[in-house]
Amino acid sequence: DKAVIGVTGLAVMGRNLARNLARHGHVVALHNRTVARTKALVEEFGHEGRFVPAETAEEFVASLERPRRLVIMVKAGAPTDAVIEEFAPLLEPGDMIVDGGNAHFADTRRREAALRERGLHFVGAGISGGEEGALNGPSIMPGGSAESYQALGPLLESIAATVDGTPCCVHVGPDGAGHFVKMVHNGIEYADMQLIAEAYDLLRQGAGLAPAEIAEVFRSWNSGRLDSYLIEITAEVLAHTDARTGKPFVDIILDQAEQKGTGRWTVQTALDLGVPVSGIAEAVFARSVSGHAELRQAGHGLPGPRAAAGDVSPDDVEKALYASKIIAYAQGFNQIQAASAEYGWEIDPGAMATIWRGGCIIRAKFLDRIRGAYESDPQRPTLLTDDHFTQALGDAQNAWRGIVATSARLGIPAPGFASALAYYDALRADRLPAALTQAQRDFFGAHTYRRVDAEGSFHTRWESGRTEEPAN
Ligand code: 6PG
């Protein structure tokens, strides 16, 4: 029997994806650079389904039915290119290579174009949900041609998570669209995690609660509108005690956050597209600040309040968290829409919210609200105008402003909450001081400005103050 799909790269993500496919009745070809891994998988999990192990690339390719579906699960970057170059010469027109790693969408665009020239389909597919998701049902974001999705979609949908009977997998759009959306998913993941961290810090330092008590607060939030995987695991982490010392586990972990790069890519790309994703940017920078041990050492003695418990109420923190979360997601969805317009991807933002409801790291009840918001108006310029979100932002006003003010007063850094509020107020403002910025630019560099009462660009001769002239 030939295999319907093959997986090469059998580290934990690849292995779990292969097992997931086999458990759903698909015959799965297996390949890994070192054969030992392939053998180990068959030995340990061979009973779960039908695997066709291959020792060489040629054997692997020969074991696949045509058109071939070949999933590569290797490290993003050079290793991905190396594996593509190993297999592409062995394939025939119409065959498909699926990259399930966290590739940069620009790499995916380049690879897709190059392989298309050679008659092959290249599908950059974002896969979220970690090890557990890969095995039991991830959220899958495949890009590439519509034709390739016809051949791959049913397979991928069969192994994805489902919510209300709908699979968490949909064709995102051409070439790099899938990996772009996965990247923004990760950027939003960073923002959400940062907001949760700030909420924890405010409850710990601002309300004086112990980690075990905060775990209970998060647990209660998880049965409300904040119901989500990240809130759920936060409660678990905070309830955890270190076996060695008996201390709250969170206290024995070095407070320097690391990152593999997808959040940074999201911000870099947003800057190029001109989309304000301040929530994601603050999250990336907050991780960066935390990691600068010397800088923090140098700053440690600087004057200011030493955080002492104040009058922070958990209910207010919940409101500030929910409001800030709405902002962060609204910004991320705007980035997807901007890229979709820039690259002609025609991404349906509501469909992205739909496939993020299950399987992925940011899965949450909340995403069904976002799905609904785009269902009622697919063209909406911002999620903030959806009735539910507008009302939540309205209800949060006192709490949100109070929490931002209190964090500043107590000396507890809350860049996520504060920047979300600033973004919100900027969108609401009648006038922004950007007018002054424009005047300054014209003053020192003759960069011109536009007027509120006339068309065209103007430049003022600031020495005389009087002369204004249309610049073009
Ligand atoms: C997912 C995760 C996954 C990975 C993150 C971690 O969707 O399953 O996002 O892709 O765990 O990329 O990212 P950092 O190491 O950058 O925090």
With beta carbons less than 8 A apart as the criterion, state whether 364 and 227 touch.
yes
* 3-class secondary-structure state, position 390: helix
Protein residue whose Cα sits closest to atom 5 of ligand 1: 186
Give yes or no: 216 in active site. no
**136 is known to lie in a ligand binding site:** no
Report residue 341: phi and psi, to 5°.
-70, -45
Mean pLDDT, range 25-52, rounded to an integer: 98
Whole-angstrom distance between the N-terminal and C-terminal Cα of the chain? Answer: 71
pLDDT of residue 310: 77
Q: In the structure encoding, which two tokens stand for residue 440, read together?
A: 């300054």
**pLDDT of 386 above 80:** yes
Cα(17) to centroid(ligand 1), Å = 16
Give yes or no: 2 in active site. no
pTM over 0.90: yes
Mean pLDDT, range 390-403, rounded to an integer: 98
pLDDT per residue over 335-373, tens digit each? Answer: 999 999 999 999 999 999 999 999 999 999 999 999 999
**pLDDT of 333 above 80:** yes
CA distances from 223 to 133, 365, 390, 434 (A): 22, 10, 22, 42
Ligand 1, from 131, 189, 290, 362: best to mutate by most atoms within 8 Å of Cβ?
A: 189
**404 is known to lie in a ligand binding site:** no
**pLDDT of 289 above 60:** yes
Mean pLDDT, range 102-126, rounded to an integer: 98
**pLDDT of 428 above 70:** yes
Amino acid at 104: H
Q: Which atom of ligand 1 is nearest to the CA of 139?
A: 7
With beta carbons less than 8 A apart as the criterion, state whether 392 and 322 touch.
yes
**pLDDT of 469 above 90:** no
User: Which position among 39, 85, 112, 189 bears the catalytic label?
Assistant: 189
For residues 93 and 116, what is the distance between their CA atoms, to the nearest angstrom? 9
Task: Return the residue matching tokens 């290249």.
Answer: 122
Mean pLDDT, range 455-464, rounded to an integer: 92
Share of the chain above pLDDT 90, in %: 96
Confidence of residue 465 (pLDDT cuts 50, 70, 90): confident
Q: Of the candidates 159, 141, 160, 152, which has an alpha carbon nearest to the alpha carbon of residue 100?
A: 141
Protein residue whose Cα sits closest to atom 1 of ligand 1: 128
**pLDDT of 75 above 80:** yes
For residues 77 and 104, what is the distance between their CA atoms, to the nearest angstrom? 8
pLDDT per residue over 221-279, tens digit each? Answer: 999 999 999 999 999 999 999 999 999 999 999 999 999 999 999 999 999 999 999 99
Looking at the DSSP bridge assignments, the partners of residue 31 are 8
Task: Return the residue matching tokens 């496939």.
Answer: 355
Cis status, amide bond into 67, omega within 30 of 0: yes
**325 is known to lie in a ligand binding site:** no
DSSP letter (8 states) at residue 383: G
Q: Which atom of ligand 1 is nearest to the CA of 186?
A: 9
For residues 123 and 99, what is the distance between their CA atoms, to the nearest angstrom? 6
Confidence of residue 308 (pLDDT cuts 50, 70, 90): confident
pLDDT of residue 445: 95
